[in-house]
A and B are shown apart, each in its own frame.
Chain A
Amino acid sequence: MNRYPLWKYLLIAVSLIAALLYTLPNFFGESPAVQISAARSTAKVDQATHARTLAALKAAGITPDERIPDVTSFKLRFHDTETQLKAKDVIQTALGDDYIVALNLLPQTPAWLAKIGGKPMFLGLDLRGGVHFLLEVDMKAAVDKQLEKVAGDIRRELKDQKIRYGRVTRERESVSVGLRDEETLARAAGAVRRVLPDLKVEESRNPGDYRLIVRFSPEAQIKLQNDAVAQNITTLHNRVNELGVAEPIIQQQGQGRIVVQLPGVQDTAKAKDILGRTATLEVRMVEDDQQKIADAFTGKVAPGLELVPVAGVRSGQGSAELLKTEVELTGDNITKAEPTYDQNNNPVIGLSLDSTGASIFRTLTRDNVGKRMAIVLVEKGKGQVITAPRINAELGGSFVIEGGGMTVQEANDISLLVRAGSLAAPMNIVEERTIGPSLGKENIEKGFHSTLYGFIAIAIFMVIYYRVFGFVSAVALSANVLLLLALLSAIGITLTLPGIAAIALALGMAIDSNVLINERIREELRNGMSPQMAIQNGYGHAWATILDSNITTLIAGIALFMFGSGAVRGFAVVHCLGILTSMFSAVMVSRAMINLIYGYRRRLTGLSIGQVWVPQQKQA
């Protein structure tokens, strides 16, 4: 009767084997590698880059152990750190500044394990070493900045519509426009609603005081804040790329916060400096005088002119354009840049300018119809011409850039970078942490040792106290570790030191279920039950208790997860998962083993569960 149907044994066996497989990648360690990725939106890591890299390495007499091409990067594995460092220098010289060549550690997961999704646990900064920043986006400033723009837009629109208006003032959360009478108020309201459909426009009428109050609707305000955070994250991504960090983490945390984690970086000052830099867009006029162009290409650039390379040389364009050094417009005046399509379904970049930008641009295009202007992307102080279109007519506050034969990816990248050029709102560092690599190693070691010795102590005690049942409990506990580690590795949860503590605690608490079961079986035996019945009832009675106690613990764990941040959250995730795996292993795995050991014996006279003491005089 203490037998499981075959499918249950199979289920348990399969889950344990799967757990073993997914835990395995953690034991293969890491090997030194070099990671190549594009430093600019216009550079691509493609077959040509691969070939150049490999040729350069071959010339230097270095052979990589493995090549791992990726969508956005190219990774090369090396035998030891010395070769890795040498290779990094060789590749950096060969590829130049357009590419980031970063040192990295790659897991040595065998290919067959990687194929089924096996990967080692991702270690948190406290275990790997690195820098952690928590940045807070100044939402008030973001709203202020937008309101400034709204005020400018309103002024411009009213001027264009020839509606007379009084003072345009920006108050705390709104813009107010003074108007002369009922009629102008109605016309102004209509005009503003048409150009700024996302905003809430209120008309306030007091005798002698007609005004229009424009504010963000709650939804618009939320969207604005989300956009501000999203834009700042994009900006940070681009800047962090310059640091050459292999696996940076940049994530939104809560409403207006951004976490930046840079594993392996020790120099906070440099990191902060680079996070503070920008990439911008410039509009400059093209010099089309053929004589000057010819001179420039032979090395005689006339004063006030500059030869700027064209990004990703395309058909019909030269390798460089001769531009006037004078900058007509900068990216600071760009409020929006997004990839779209033109009427012929070619990818283009849609740009919107703020009111100042728009009026400058209008004058510029009106005065220069028939001439060419260049859109220049300036990164790391170096410019590249994205496109140099001919001006056909006067252009207003929003227009599109058509780079002859631009791909969708390029349109995406460029608009992202233009957006990334500036921060939507200033950010303050509210938290900063630097952990040395030696401390990280020590943390892993200490966490591992304390878990191991605690586990050994518990296992020894269980075997002595409960004999065969104790052994089964210890095996169930190991199964729990295995399942937990497999789950953490497979889901890709970042393991931190509190996470290790949670693993240890999960083991300490998981044994509770087995103690409950074993004590219950002993008690049933004490009350004179047959061994088979004792097993049956022991597990049955203990289950209700195990469920109740685990669910209450889980409630605490979930609350921790919901309200915790950083260290607490890392603990809570592992804690909750540990409770779930322990319910499976302590009940199912141990029962299956007991069933296999005892369930198939016909005449079972006793259980090896340690001495069961029966009181002499039985109480009622």
Chain B
Amino acid sequence: MEFFRIKQDIPFMSYGKLTTAISLLTFIVAVFFLVFKGLNFGVEFTGGTVMELRYAQPADLNQVRGAVDNLKYGESQVQALGTTRDVMVRLPNIKQKTSAQLSNEVLTALKQQRGDVELRKVEFIGPSVGEELVSHGLLALALVCIGIIAYLAIRFEWRFAVSAVIANMHDVVIILGFFALFQWEFSLTVLAGILAVLGYSVNESVVVFDRIRENFRKSNLRGKTVPQVIDNAITATMSRTIITHGSTEAMVLSMLILGGPALHGFAMALTIGIVFGIYSSVLVASPLLLMFGVTRENMVKPVTVKEEAVV
């Protein structure tokens, strides 16, 4: 069986303008949502108390909401968590009360209303922790970018490094855009997922770049122009790209469907990240490479030096 019977190199680079335009547009839309809707930060970031409850029988959210509102804690949220029996209650931080008091009060109130409720999880995060998480998250993001740029600049060339990182940041922004658009909760595990996507997506670009470098060195491709060389590299790795991503996506979808609410955000970030990872490494990173003016000499020269060193 062979899925991809590609007779000729697909002229990906000639679509460069179109794909760049599409990328730019999605990027701008994502930024728009991020700015105007913002991320729905999880309790780890905002501080507050989250309770997860399970009812023996399907719960009436309005009833639960009424009971929680009666306690007058200010802005609290009640929402279903996956099933009709699981309910999540989010409470703000209250100065005079500890989280244990808060959760006990809520549970007593709900127990009075309906006896079949069971407390599954309580989470309390103080306000100072959140800020630190944001700064650490941004720091991690910056460090990942610098690390990847440095490694690719050494192994390839700076043009490769910069285009790979730009392509990947584009993925990250788009995932964030999705989370802003649908107001999915942005939790710490989602952040882990996004940073994992960053590593994963660079991996993708590296495979294509590796092929481009190899093609530059090949004697039978010497007469070809740079775009043709890149087209050849992308076409040659196409089959692998689709199969690998298909496999990873199968794993991630399995997590999304079977993993339950705890893994949902993480799996969602990866699902979107992988789809855009394919797109960006093929149709964003490579045109960028061309735009930065990569030439055969950029890649071939260091190799001769290397060979001399070995001899």
Residue positions of A touching B, CB distance < 8 A: 126, 134, 136, 268-269, 272, 428-436, 438-439, 442-443, 446-447, 449-451, 453-455, 457-458, 461-462, 464-465, 497-498, 501, 504-505, 507-509, 511-512, 515-516, 519, 522-523, 541, 544-545, 548-560, 562-568, 571-572, 575, 610-613, 615-617, 619-620
Contact = CB atoms under 8 A, between A and B. Distances in A.
Contacts of B237: 519
A550 B259 contact: no
Given A562-B143, A565-B133, A567-B188, A439 B206 contact: no
A432 B122 contact: yes
A457 B199 contact: no
B254 A560 contact: no
B258 A519 contact: no
Given A434-B122, A523-B236, A571-B196, A556 B188 contact: no
A432 B99 contact: yes
B126 A557 contact: no
B100 A269 contact: yes
Interface of B: 1-2, 5, 7-9, 52, 98-101, 103-104, 118-126, 128-129, 133, 136-137, 139-140, 143-144, 147-148, 151-152, 155, 188-189, 191-192, 195-196, 198-200, 202-204, 206-207, 210-211, 214, 220, 236-237, 239-240, 243-244, 246-255, 257-260, 262-263, 266-267, 270
A498 B192 contact: yes
11 contacts: A446-B260, A447-B263, A454-B253, A509-B203, A552-B152, A556-B198, A564-B136, A565-B136, A610-B1, A615-B5, A615-B7
B258 A433 contact: no
B240 A516 contact: yes
Given A272-B98, A504-B251, A564-B136, A556 B259 contact: no
Contact of B210 (A504, A548, A554): A548
A556 B148 contact: yes
Contact of B251 (A134, A428, A507, A565): A507
Nearest to A460: B250
B207 A545 contact: yes
Q: Which of A434, A464, A516, A617 has the most CB of B within 10 A?
A: A434
Nearest to A563: B140
A561 to B, nearest CB: 9
Contacts of B243: 465, 515, 519
Which residue of B5, B98, B118, B263 has the most chain A CB atoms within 10 A of its CB atom? B263
Contacts of B255: 450-451, 454, 501, 504
Contacts of A560: 140, 144, 192, 195-196
Contacts of A566: 188
Contact of A272 (B100, B210, B244, B270): B100
Contact of A446 (B148, B248, B262, B266): B262
A290 B197 CA distance: 81
A620 B218 CA distance: 12
Contacts of B119: 434, 436
B203 A549 contact: yes
A145 to B, nearest CB: 21
Contacts of B236: 523
A447 B264 CA distance: 11
Nearest first, the 10 closest Cβ-Cβ pairs linking A and B are A556-B199, A508-B251, A430-B126, A454-B254, A454-B251, A508-B248, A563-B140, A432-B124, A555-B147, A549-B203
Given A553-B200, A567-B192, A612-B2, A505 B270 contact: yes
Contact of B259 (A431, A447, A515, A549): A447
